[in-house]
Amino acid sequence: MYLPSFSVEGKTAIVTGAGRGIGRALAIGLAEAGADVALFARTQSDLEEVAAEVRKIGKKAYPLRVDVTQREEVESAVEEVRGLAGNIDILVNNAGMNIRTPALEVTDEQWNTIIQTNLKSVFLMSQTCGRIMKEAGAGRIINVSSVGGHVALRTGVVYGATKAAIIQMTKILALEWGKYGVLVNAVGPWYFRTPLTEKLLANEEYVGEILARTPLGRIGALEELVGPVVFLASDAANYVTGQTLMVDGGMTIYGF
């Protein structure tokens, strides 16, 4: 048999930032691929809406209001999921944010907010779930980085630094945890249509610049990010770890 399974049937996944946008799409996509899904975010109403979608698919949903920058909340929520589901097989670190500010104008408050949300949360979630996965002898961690962690963009120095750090963290955790059967990978999205990008993508001039740098010549659709994440979570990626898969319409190969 040469075609491995792309199913995650019988697995339990945690998705952070699951209330809207990319996190919502990934949570529903993992449910469609067979997983029960724990949904972490800070807005309960958003979580309940996504949980309803997951349950329509016939999978279990565990919506939990969690601030993933706080260790005590992370550890408590992860333990609650393990108590309800029995194990944690997949973690998708998606929670993130940005404050677009020129480097000369970045404040300490902005620095700390972006670092905590984009980087500290990834480590706290990975460390907490990693201990459980080590004990089980298996697990998948998938971090959502960005093309902005690989090439220089006008998205802001702090955002770019956090996304680059996620790529390096992915490699180091994969190196440390491979012997425990825990595979750690990342995806690097370019522009996708979400509530967070809606205003930017309403600017036709800005969209023109984006498309000029994208060989496929269009903005990504959210379902086109779901497939790579499900792949990395499934048995089809059993020999893949420490990698960052750019899901960018070819943007990062663009030359001049």
Q: Which residues contact 102 (CB under 8 A, 6 or more apart)?
A: 156
102 three-state secondary structure: coil
Distance, CA of 159 to CA of 146 (rounded, Å): 9
* SS3 assignment for 168-210: HHHHHHHHHHHHHCEEEEEEEECCECCCCCCCHHHCHHHHHHH
Report the candidate in 238, 241, 220 with the shortest Cα–Cα distance to residue 8: 238
The arrangement of strands across the sheet holding 90-93 comes to 61-65, 36-41, 12-16, 90-93, 139-144, 182-189, 244-247
| DSSP class of 252 | G
Name the helix (H) or strand (E) containing 106: none
Does the active-site annotation cover 62? no
Name the helix (H) or strand (E) containing 157: helix 157-177
State the sign of the Cα–Cα–Cα–Cα dihedral 124, 126, 131, 136. Answer: positive
Q: Which of the residues 159, 180, 191, 239 is marked catalytic?
A: 159
Contact 116, 69 (CB under 8 A): yes
List residues with catalytic annotation.
159
